Amino acid sequence: MIEHRPFGIDDPYKHLVDERSPRDPEAGDALQIGFRTAASASEAWLTLERDGTRERHEAQSLADGTWVALVEALEAGTYSYTIHARDGAEEYTSARFGLEVARARRVDRALHGQIDPHGLSLELAGPDGARAALRLGVSAPGVARVELVPGPAPSRTDDEASPAARGARAGDRPCVVSADADGWTLRAEGLEARLDAATLELSVTRPGRTTASVRVSVAACWFELPDGRVLRHHLTVRSDPSESLYGLGERFGAPGLRGRTWDVRVYEEYKEQGQRTYLPMPFFLSQRGWGVWLETDAPARVDARGGDVEIDVGGAAGAAATTLVAHLIVADAPYDVTAAFVGLTGAIALPPRWALGPWMSANTWNDQATTMAAVRRTIAEDVPATVLVIEAWSDEATFYAFNDAAYDPVAGAERLRLADMRFGGRWPDPKGMVDECHDAGVRVVLWQIPVLRTLHAPHAQHDADVAHALERGYVIHHGDGTPYRNAGWWFTDALVFDPTNPDARGWWFDKRRYLFDELGIDGMKTDGGEHLWGRDLVAWNGQRGTELVNRYAQAYVEAYHDFVREATGGDGLTFSRAGYVGAQRTPAHWAGDENSTWSAFRVSIQAGLSAGLAGVSIWGWDIAGFSGEVPSVELYARSTAMACFCPIMQYHSELHQASECRDRTPWNVAERHADPRALAIYRAYALLRMRLIDYLAEEASALAAQGQPLMRMPALVWPEAHDALQGDADSYLFGRDLLVCPVLEKGAEARPVRLPPGSWVDLWSGARFDGERWLVVPAPLERIPVFVRAESPRLGDLLAAARGFEAR
């Protein structure tokens, strides 16, 4: 009779009418309780209880049995509530729901401290008896590590180490700490940190560089539930309003973080992502050479609307770890901050050389005849391709058997082999298809999703697999032990594979091994991974709740990456849209789903550049967008030119119900618009891309060794010219030598370019120009403005490659 879900489905952006808001209130918040009854109910109310006292709150009817009860500002504490409804002579009462209201706690003074060879430990105190332990150490050259643990310090003897950290943390580096009447000073390689005893403000500087300074207030605030658990942490990073800030992972929109509030959470927003992203990072940096990494999997919110940056970590019960850890990085230049972050989170992995050629894909290639017709056409048209991605190949019941393949089902613990399958229908000869692709120099990548979907008809193999996975605990669970079923809109109600369980990984990938060992495929497109919602979720390794939501996408991709690299002897790769900290270890990535529009083209470039700030180097997007009607020849040509100078050059298109073909193949775009220029221009850039592969491979390797991405923002490579270069924020460096200036305006015939410091040579004409100036350059449809660093040792090779360019 009464329907109420306190947390809805825990979608962070979509609230339901039968949930409460806020889901996790703090002292002072007003509370809204939404619920449903039968439409015939005439009255409803809420009974709120605390410490034996009861309050009745009348509910207001909205429509069709939807009600809302409003409660004014709440005090901190533990409550319960029940919902009541009257329908004629009958009165109904809901189950009892718990409600915990958090209170703010703060520390603002140091009680005493202890110095050891690896840092400083302090006991902090604040009003109302608040206590916390602070540890300041060094995690890498130029990186200070701050750890804050709310709550009283454990008892200790005088000869024990500090309460925040006994002995050296793993990875801690030696440092020298001195104390005086005003505070403490820590010195180590590449940094000097000063903690003011009166203000509890920590300033970390790089010796000899006064501008590379990050200041954090450790007069910390956190929000504590009645049982002592931390709901969320709050941290303030002091910042000059005039300095620009960048990062937080892959971000679609204007460059820079200023003026907005950003969520750091993995989320799928299908197209028009705005401030949401598949690939967030709790890491940002300043143009002045400092950065902050929050070492957490919990969702975070970064408010960059003012001068100071206000950061909240957590915000849902069970989401914030007790300990807050921040790494404060100071370096000589912004991309050195990126390199330090990469050094802390894992080296940039390199893809196989073949991945640097042109890719081809379409969701409508859902049978062997259509797929191979596209491959044969690209050969016949002299359009190079080195990678074929096939998305619509599997039965989407097992996700490891080809559609229309016949076989005798095996037990859920067992696996099928190629010899067990009888092929026909849509995919009559997968082995012959893969062999033909390989003979043509085209590698094959198959699509994957980490779920066991819910089917509405019997399927013997799927049912056996599901039964085995449930029996062995191979899927993500709720805290009560019941299996989680996807609450998102894509593959709703599916079980979700648990990649943290070694046995589950072995079982899952054993079923897919024949695709590599017997068919000879070369990689997997690891789609999805964003649809874990729920604070009570549990993985095999103990990760829980909304922290698991962020970490899952990366754990899933890493499991596939390890499998693919092992199965191919290191000559394979994954292709992913979602991830988290450490994504640079698992190439490659693409920017997810986008419309075929000029605006999507522009924001996708910014997505690649912002992802690169966190070390994500091997990245791309779907040329001219994958969704909607076939793009215009102009948009297709302009985005093809940009993709030629992008780590991954791929066209792709969505599944659709239109009667006409919407593939983004260059010949289809040309035919649909009766304009052969689309094919001629794509062919020319694909051929140029092949001539650039050696350069790309060398640059990817050289920059990875430095901890830097292939695509970089000129304003952060030359921070001394930051403001001038930000006037041309859509241009970027590709490798160490190329300045790429995409044409993003419809109908443009020329493009203003801001040249960075140094001397630059036009790739197409060989003309030389001094930098630090604006230059208006011609931009005919077939040509993208590109400049080569005049001092480049590859100048001659690059100019020679361009001389072979011909849009025929």
Q: Which residues are catalytic?
A: 527, 530, 593
736 alpha-carbon distance from chain centroid:
25
593 CB neighbour count, 10 Å cutoff: 22
How close are the terminal C-alpha atoms of the chain, in Å?
70
Q: What is the 3-state secondary structure (H, E, C) of 574-628?
A: EEECCCCCCHHHCCCEECCCCECCHHHHHHHHHHHHHHHHCCCCCEEEECCCCEC
Which residues touch 161 (CB under 8 Å, ≥6 apart)? 114, 116, 121, 167
The DSSP call for residue 306 is: S
- Nearest residue to 335 via CA among 326, 324, 348: 348
Helix (H, G, I), strand (E, B) or coil at 126: coil
The answer for residues whose C-beta is within 8 angstroms of residue 340's C-beta and 6 or more apart is 140, 141, 142, 143, 291, 329, 331, 707
Q: How far is CA 428 from the centre of its chain?
A: 37
The phi, psi pair for 81, rounded to 5°, reads: -150, 150
Per DSSP, the three-state class of 770 is strand
**The one-letter amino acid at 680:** A
Please provide the DSSP assignment of 224-240 as one string: E-TTS-EEEEEEEEE--
Across the strands, what pairs with 483? 477
Which letter does DSSP use for residue 570 in this model?
T
Asked if residues 182 and 198 have their Cβ atoms less than 8 Å apart, the reply is: yes
How far is it, in rounded angstroms, from Cα 289 to Cα 311? Answer: 20
Count how many Cα atoms sit within 13 Å of the Cα of residue 401 in the half-sphere of its side chain.
Answer: 25
Q: What is the dihedral sign for C-alpha 206, 208, 212, 214?
A: positive
d(Cα 434, Cα 431) in Å, to the nearest integer? 5
If you count DSSP H runs as helices and E runs as strands, how many of each does the chain have, helices first? 14, 48
Decide if 246 contacts 288 (C-beta within 8 A).
no
Please name the residues in contact with 89: beta carbons below 8 A apart, sequence gap of 6 or more: none
Do 198 and 217 form a contact (C-beta atoms < 8 A)? Answer: no
Q: If DSSP states are collapsed to H, E and C, what string results for 219-285?
A: EEEEEECCCCCEEEEEEEEECCCCCCEEEEECCCCCCCCCCCEEEECECCCCCCCCCCECCEEEEEE
Identity of the residue numbered 42? S
Nearest to 545 by CA among 318, 759, 740: 318
Query: Quick check: 73 and 55 in contact, CB under 8 A?
Result: no
CB atoms within 10 A of CB 312: 23
Distance CA 116, CA 119 (A): 6
Which residue in 366, 390, 388, 363 sits closest to 378, CA to CA? 388
Tokens 């049982």 correspond to what residue? 227
Rounded CA-CA distance 469/475 in Å is 7
Tokens 């440092």 sit at which residue? 175
The span from the CA of 186 to the CA of 139, in Å, is: 13
In 3D space, the residue among 354, 427, 357, 360 whose CA is nearest the CA of residue 667 turns out to be 360
Cβ count within 10 A of residue 28: 12
3-state secondary structure at position 529: coil
